[in-house]
């Protein structure tokens, strides 16, 4: 419904309590269009390609493009152990909040609240131990309903070459 639109409602002459309704009068009904947080996630890998046994850095940037704050922002980052020899976790840092490695192939970050226009940057360093293609997929969520969840997930594939 847009401002100035008229609609006709089929109402009975009495409300649920039996009280008479206003009949034949126009009622101005305000409509509030809520908009809130709108998260987006960027993910890059450097270098790409990378040599086996050399550091690979993934940089993730979660940004709130919405007009209101995003609260309880959570980031899940996973890289399947698809390489022969696996992937050695080195470290994870974040510009806000905290991150924890699960001891396997994923990291979870609790980033707190992101104000409108604010970003959080997560840097994750690993060492691939075998050659092949390594794909990292991450997702960011918040308590608020997000109008565009398509940009809340990001993936990047890295070619791992032998040294």
Would you give per-residue pLDDT tens digits along the chain (163 residues)? 555 666 665 656 666 677 776 666 555 555 555 568 999 999 999 999 999 999 999 999 999 999 999 999 999 999 987 788 899 999 999 999 999 999 999 999 999 999 999 999 999 999 999 999 999 999 999 999 999 999 999 999 999 999 9
Long-range contact list for 51-55, CB < 8 A, 24+ apart? 51/160, 51/161, 51/162, 51/163, 52/85, 52/128, 52/129, 52/130, 52/131, 52/160, 52/161, 52/162, 52/163, 53/127, 53/128, 53/129, 53/163, 54/127, 54/128, 54/163, 55/90, 55/125, 55/126, 55/127
The model carries a pTM of 0.79
Domains of the chain, CATH where assigned: 39-161 (2.60.40.1530)
């Amino acid at each position: 419904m847009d401002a100035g639109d008229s609609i006709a409602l089929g109402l009975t002459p009495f409300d649920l309590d039996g009280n008479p309704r206003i009949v034949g009068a126009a009622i101005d009904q305000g409509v509030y269009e809520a908009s809130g947080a709108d998260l987006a996630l960027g993910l890059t890998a450097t270098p790409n390609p990378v040599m086996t046994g050399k550091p690979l850095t993934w940089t993730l940037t979660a940004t709130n493009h919405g007009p209101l704050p995003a609260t309880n922002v959570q980031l899940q980052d996973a890289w399947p152990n698809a390489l022969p020899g696996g992937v050695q976790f080195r470290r994870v840092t974040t510009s806000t909040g905290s991150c924890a490695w699960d001891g396997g192939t994923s990291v979870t970050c609790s980033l707190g609240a992101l104000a409108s226009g604010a970003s959080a940057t997560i840097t994750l360093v690993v060492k691939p131990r075998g050659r092949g293609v390594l794909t990292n997929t991450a997702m960011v969520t918040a308590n608020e309903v997000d109008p565009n969840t398509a940009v809340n997930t990001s993936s990047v594939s890295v070619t791992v070459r032998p040294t």
